Amino acid sequence: MSSLQQVNPRVRQDITPGALKPFKEVIDVSAGDPHRAGFKPVTFVRQVLAVCLLPRLLEEESLPLDVRRRAQRLLEACEGGSVGEAQRVTLIVINNQLRLPKKGRRKNNDANHLPQGCRGKVKPATCCVKVFVKLLAGGEEETRAGVLVPVPGPHTLPALLDQARVTLAPYRLAEARRWAVDLDELHRALRSARERCRPRAVYISNPGNPTGHVQDWESIEEVIRFAAAERLLLLVDEVHQDSVYGPGREFISYKRVLFEMGGEYSDTVELVSFHSLASAHMGEDGLRAGYMELVNVDPEVMRFVDTMLCTDISTPVTGQLALDLMVDPPRPGELSFDTYRQEILLTRAVLSQNAQRAQEFLNDLPGMSCQPAMGGIYLYPRLHLPPEITEKAEMLKVQAEDLYCQMLLEETGVFLGAGCQYGETAANYHLRLCVLVLPDTLEEVLARLASFHRHGRASSP
C-alpha cells in the first residue's frame, strides 16, 4: 500500500464534529468507480440480475418482457437452474467461447476465458494479466523474462510484474502527440531491455490508462508488425473500449485489425486482449468478472492457462451473468433498448464534457499543462513544481508528485493520483485525475485544486 493510500483513511477519520479541517468530505478522484461517484447502475443489468436472484419475479408483469426472457434463459443455463447452486453458466462458457462483438470474425484457434475469482481490490482484468505474466516468468532460463510497458501506464502493473519476478521494460508514450505509441521508441526500449532481460511481450493500453489516448488503425498495424517481427506476445488492455468520445475517434480492437492484415499476421501473432465489468459504462466492479480473449496461443500454453484459471474458486455466478449482458446487450426493437442506450450515452456524454472542461481548466493553471483525452476515464496533466516542493520531497525521500498529492489531500480533501515514476526522467511530474464523476463533483474538485495550487505552497514559481 502506498503512503497516499494510507493517508486517505486517516484524513477521512479526521473529519469529525469539531475537527479543524477546511473541508467537509474527501473527494477521491484517484481512480474510477462510477456507482460510488453517483452514476446509476445500468437498469437492464440490475433488472435481469434481480430476476435471476429472485425467480418469482419472472411473473412480475411490471418488468419488461425482454428482461424476464433473458433472465429465464440465463437461469436455464445455470447448472442446477439456480444462481445459488451453479458454479458455471453454460450459456456463457460453451467450449470456452464467449459471444464477443466488435472483435472481428471468429477463428477456430480463438479461445475466451473468464478469470478465476478475485480477492480484495484486484481487478478482474488484472487477474487475467497476472496469469500470463506468471506464464512468461516460467521456464528455467537464467535471464529473467521482460515485458515492454507503456510510460505512463496502469499504476497497478509494476507491483504485478515485480511479484511475478518479471522485468519491467518501459517505453515512453509521446506526450506531445497526445500520448501516442511511438514505433521508434518501441524499438529503442526493446534494444535497451535486451541488455538486462529477455523481452517476451509488449503491453498496450487502448484506450490509454491513464492517458486517454485512442489508437487509430495505422498505429495498431504498426504495433502488430513490431510484435510479429520481434516475436513478442501482445497483451492488450481494452477495458475502456466503450468510453471513446474524441472527435473523429472510434474504438478499433486489435483483433479486428489483426484479422484484416492477412494470414502472415492473423495466423501467427499471439494476442491476448482483456475486458472487464469494471468498464465505465457498466461500472460493476463489485461483481468481479471480466474476460480475456486469446488468439494464436499454443495449445500447450492453453493447457496451463486452463489449469491456472480453473483450479481455484470460479468467477461468481452473478458476475458471469452480468458479463453475458455486457457482451450481448438489448438490441434495437427490444423493450429495454431505448433506456439502455440513453443510459450508456449519458455516461459517455458526461465523460466527454468532464474531460474537455477539466483539460481546459488545468491548462489555465500556472505550472500545469494537459493533453486532451480521446477516451477512457482519466486525464494525465504535467505538473511543474517549484523548488521548495522538490527539495522537501528529496529531504523526506519521497516522490515529488506524492508529496504534492499528500499536501493537496491534507489541505483540501481532494485525493488525486500521483503519476507513475517507473521509466520517468527527473523533473517529469504528472498527476492522475479521474473524470468519471458527476459534473458538480468535478467543479468542486477543480475549485479546491485551483485554490491550493495558486495560493498554497505548491504554486508555480
**What pairing do the DSSP bridges indicate for beta strands 145-151 and 167-172?**
parallel
Q: pLDDT category, 74, cuts 50, 70, 90?
A: very high
Q: Which cell numbers hold the place of 191?
A: 534494444
Do 111-316 and 3-30+376-455 have the same topology in CATH? no
Q: Is the C-alpha dihedral spanning 254, 259, 262, 264 positive or negative?
A: positive
State phi, psi for 73 to the nearest 5 degrees: -65, -40
Stretch 370-374: mean pLDDT, rounded?
96
Tell me what the mean pLDDT of segment 395-403 comes to.
91
Q: Quote the percentage of the chain above a pLDDT of 70.
A: 80
The pLDDT of residue 18 is above 70: no
Is residue 442's pLDDT more than 60? Answer: yes
Give yes or no for residue 22 having a pLDDT over 90: no
SS3 426: coil
pLDDT at 178 over 90: yes
Instruction: Identify the residue whose cell numbers are 526522467.
Output: 425
Mean pLDDT of 261-271: 93
Q: Residue 337 above 60 pLDDT?
A: yes
Percent of the chain scoring above 90 in pLDDT: 54
218-222 long-range contacts, CB within 8 A, separation 24+? 219/180, 219/181, 220/252, 220/254, 220/257, 221/257, 221/261, 222/181, 222/183
Helix, strand, coil percentages in the chain from 3-state DSSP, rounded to 5: 40, 15, 45
Interval 203-224 mean pLDDT: 96
Report, at the CATH architecture level, how domain 111-316 is classified: 3-Layer(aba) Sandwich (3.40)
Enter the pTM of the model: 0.86
Most confident of the following: 73-77, 127-131, 418-422: 73-77
Q: Which helix (H) or strand (E) holds 163?
A: helix 157-163
Average pLDDT over residues 236-258: 93
- Confirm if 146 and 167 have CB atoms less than 8 A apart: yes
| Mean pLDDT taken over the chain | 83
Q: How far is the C-alpha of 449 from the C-alpha of 432, rounded, in Å?
A: 13
Domain boundaries along the sequence of the chain? 3-30+376-455, 111-316
β 198-205/233-237 pair status: parallel
Q: Is the pLDDT of residue 298 over 90?
A: no
pLDDT for position 192: 96
Kindly state which CATH superfamily the domain 3-30+376-455 is placed in. Answer: Aspartate Aminotransferase, domain 1 (3.90.1150.10)
How does residue 126 score in pLDDT terms, banded at 50, 70 and 90?
Answer: low
Q: Give the model's pLDDT for residue 97.
A: 41
State how far Cα 54 lies from the chain centre: 32
In total, the chain counts a number of residues equal to: 461
DSSP string over 301-350: HHHHHHHHHHSSPPPPHHHHHHHHHHHS---TTSTTHHHHHHHHHHHHHH
pLDDT of residue 100: 41
Residue 417 region by backbone torsions, left for phi larger than 0, else alpha for psi between -120 and 50, else beta: beta
Place of cell 511543474: 384
DSSP assignment string, 206-237: SS-TTT-----HHHHHHHHHHHHHHT-EEEEE
Neighbours of 72 (CB within 10 A): 15
Q: CA angle 189-190-191, nearest 5°?
A: 95
Interior angle at CA 114, CA 379 and CA 152, nearest 5: 25
